[in-house]
Chain A
């Protein structure tokens, strides 16, 4: 039985290695802009962005609460989560589902239209979101670049 088990795991590893080298067509970068409420003065690092969208960083430097919003148009959403949060979309959704089903968090606010995201960020103190680069952002919403 042990040799059968060993052979099974060897095959599983080989199969996975084979699948890993097939390029994943879904993972490509769509340029995104990170937008925040105009009152936000903080500079942000890549770790800050990751921690904000994982619900681990919940306050700005002035102790104001962070309210992050997800823009759920598939391509932009996937690109942002893969490159900034460093999870796949499936893993990210599961991360929040885990919080929901253990009571340790609630589902983030989500919009699937660029305009809704921008409006929310503009009107909500402490808000942060992301939109595709080709989305026109009005002057009263702040775009930020990472340190």
Chain B
């Protein structure tokens, strides 16, 4: 029954979108674009991001945006976005970005509103399937971080300058505030550490990007950085407390201060081949303070030191077919890369090799198939794997996406 429903759904999807192949809806200076995608994932051992062990269709997203150009250097736009991946998203509609953009000169432009955060090469396009080869980006963009680093409200100053000798330099400076929902991926990650987040309060957020395209055709180098503080209320369910502390109905103040996520990147395009490498460092001080009225408050200070990197290569063989692969490593605690402080050493890392094939059926319709071999349990959520996390997982992903 499910198989028949799935096949019918896929056939209808393919029929409709190969027959109706619009590039965009336009009326005067108003442009409307959008995309919709449906995926399927199945894994052999651990559940990864969703109930993937038995195979799941709980893996989709869609967006629609509308923009209007008032003057050649001034436009306003907004994008609504919805997604579902396991317990995250659940197809709740959110404002992905919404801002006014005024380009004063080449050197200086301003944006005001909710703006995508620059983080590495691909964070701003992480949700847009047709803009990349892969279905899952490497763990520099790990899914649970999306709610934290996707977009923020504030003011953006940006621009670029062409130097005669050294090439083109682009910059972006964003200042504002970041809102994090309590049902976000970040909450799921903290749940893994034994805390149920009940409220998030995040203060000032600042981001910067510097990108340099030297006079070597196809080469791009850069760095992005995000700074912010998070304060949260949490309920404790298994955080290891000293034996004399048994907190009933416990509450915690959770504070992540001096939070800094930095990514250094290099991308080289040689005709149809693109090489990319990125190294991410995530630093901060996690302070957890009990606020039980019956006991003396205790304070735990845990330094956060997370590193991740990847190397990737993609190649477009024809207008119809593209392939790519990457190797990525993620260490939740870079001072314990071999997992010596973990109960099972492989919880200390996540190493992943991926191979993807992309088929552009039309300009608007793409189909991708991707295989991942994962070693380590650092990004496997215990709540998804109640019987324990195994060391190795193979994951198969399929995704059909339509954009206009």
Q: Could you tell me which A residues sit within 8 Å of B by CB distance?
A: 1, 4-5, 8-9, 12-13, 16, 19-20, 24, 27, 47-48, 51, 56-59, 65-67, 86-88, 90-91, 93-94, 97-98, 100-104, 106-107, 126
Contacts and interface: CB of A to CB of B under 8 A. Distances in A.
Nearest to B33: A100
B315 interface: yes
Contacts of B231: none
A13 B77 CA distance: 41
Nearest to A48: B162
B327 A56 contact: no
B305 interface: no
Interface string B255-294: 0000000000000011111000000000000000000000
Nearest to B172: A104
A57 B130 contact: no
A24 B162 contact: no
A58 B106 contact: yes
Contact of B125 (A5, A93, A101, A106): A101
A98 to B, nearest CB: 5
B392 A1 contact: yes
Nearest to B352: A5
A58 B353 CA distance: 41
Contacts of A104: 101, 111, 116, 124
B391 to A, nearest CB: 10
Contacts of B270: 20
Looking at chain B's contact residues, the main secondary structure is strand
Nearest to B322: A90
A130 to B, nearest CB: 19
A36 to B, nearest CB: 15
Given A67-B72, A98-B128, A12 B325 contact: yes
A41 to B, nearest CB: 18
Interface in B53-80: 63, 65, 67, 69, 71-73, 75, 77-79
Given A12-B355, A101-B128, 10 more contacts: A4-B373, A24-B271, A56-B160, A56-B168, A65-B73, A97-B130, A98-B125, A100-B67, A103-B99, A106-B69
Contacts of A103: 65, 67, 77-79, 97-99, 101, 115-116
A88 B99 CA distance: 30
Given A65-B73, A88-B272, A107-B31, A8 B355 contact: yes
B319 interface: yes
Contacts of A88: 271-272, 316
Contact of A56 (B106, B272, B313): B106
Contact of B317 (A8, A19, A57, A97): A19
B31 A100 contact: yes
B273 A20 contact: yes
A5 B372 CA distance: 11
Contacts of A57: 106, 162
B319 A51 contact: no
A107 B24 contact: yes
A16 B272 CA distance: 10
Give the top 9 A-B pairs by smallest Cβ distance, nearest first: A65-B72, A103-B77, A5-B353, A102-B124, A101-B128, A103-B97, A16-B315, A102-B116, A56-B160
B208 to A, nearest CB: 16
